[in-house]
Amino acid sequence: MEAKYMPSIFIALLTLGTPRVEHFENLLRWFLCGKYRLRYYPCVDVQPGYKARNVCHREFLKDSYDYLLFLDDDTIPPVDVIDRLLKANKDMISATVQTLFSDKGVPKLIPVAYRWNEDDPEDKGYKAYWGSGVEEVDVTTCACTLIKRKVLKVVGRGAFTNWHKDEWCIEGKSGDFCFSEKVRADGFRIWNDYGILCDHYKTFSAKKVNELMLLASEGK
């Protein structure tokens, strides 16, 4: 009898201290379901974040896993996230992670998935993009992201790095931004599944939440 293929996935959880209990609940279900060959790799107390991702990248390539699943400690996906990201069959695909962002003083809840925008010549750049279903993006977070082995082999060592355009290192791009640009420069495409919404545990401003609720009530 021919052995059934099981996707092999290296689950890298970036955490400062003890991971949230919701991660262990998901991990338990994933390991017990019998649908995948898994390795759990907790990357604990490695700072800054881009360094932690490079550590996970290095450890992933030491073995023969098909996929690397990045998870951040403050990001909790639904339990079926692996099934749904695998089904999409993309080189790199993220689940939707939202964050609170101030746009010209107006608080907005946006996805951490971006497309390059040149509609406004005075404000060119990456803009948060709200899509529907599985859509291509230019940059995405790696807070809950599945990446194929071929991508991680091609991008090479040190693919996660911060880039700063000023001498004070105030303005620039994060490790996830730089990695996304590297992935696309190497000929791969990046996708986000807007149908998968993760919990994102952040400290927040009650004032901004009130402002958002007011905007929602006004239909804006």
Q: For residue 200, what is the DSSP state? A: E
Rounded distance between C-alpha atoms, residue 123 and residue 103, angstroms? 12
Q: What is the pLDDT of residues 53-69, one digit of tens each?
A: 999 999 999 999 999 99
Q: What is the pLDDT of residues 160-178, one digit of tens each?
A: 987 655 554 455 567 899 9
Give the 3-state DSSP-derived string for 37-88, with helices as H, strands as E and coil as C: EEEEEEEECCCCHHHHHHHHHHHHHCCCCCEEEEEECCEECCCCHHHHHHHH
3-state helix, strand, coil in the chain (%, to 5): 30, 35, 40
- Model pTM score: 0.88
Number of domain units in the chain: 1
Rounded distance between C-alpha atoms, residue 206 and residue 212, angstroms? 10
Place of tokens 């402002």: 211
Predicted pLDDT at 164:
53
Confirm whether 219 is domain-assigned: no
Confirm whether 213 is domain-assigned: no
Confirm whether 103 is domain-assigned: no
Please name the amino acid found at residue 59: E
Residue-number span of the structural domain to which 173 is assigned: 8-98+130-201
> For the chain, what is the radius of gyration of the CA atoms?
18
Confirm whether 32 is domain-assigned: yes
| CATH assignment at residue 12 | 3.90.550.40
Mean pLDDT, range 182-197, rounded to an integer: 97
Facing residues of 115 across strands? 127
Confirm whether 30 is domain-assigned: yes
Can you list the positions of beta strands (E) in 118-171?
Answer: 125-128, 134-137, 139-140, 144-148, 163-164
C-alpha to C-alpha distances, 117 to 120, 126, 179, nearest whole angstrom: 8, 6, 19
**Percent over 90 (pLDDT), the chain:** 68
C-alpha to C-alpha distances, 118 to 131, 174, 184, 187, nearest whole angstrom: 18, 21, 18, 22
Q: Is the pLDDT of residue 206 over 80?
A: no
Confirm whether 119 is domain-assigned: no
Lowest mean pLDDT among 7-11, 22-26, 204-208: 204-208
Residues 6 or more apart whose Cβ sits within 8 Å of residue 192? 93, 94, 95, 96, 111, 113, 131, 134, 135, 137, 140
CB contact at 8 A, 35 and 6: yes
Confirm whether 214 is domain-assigned: no
Confirm whether 25 is domain-assigned: yes
Predicted pLDDT at 205:
67
Predicted pLDDT at 2:
61
Q: What is the pLDDT of residues 107-154, one digit of tens each?
A: 778 999 999 987 777 778 889 999 999 999 999 999 999 999 999 999
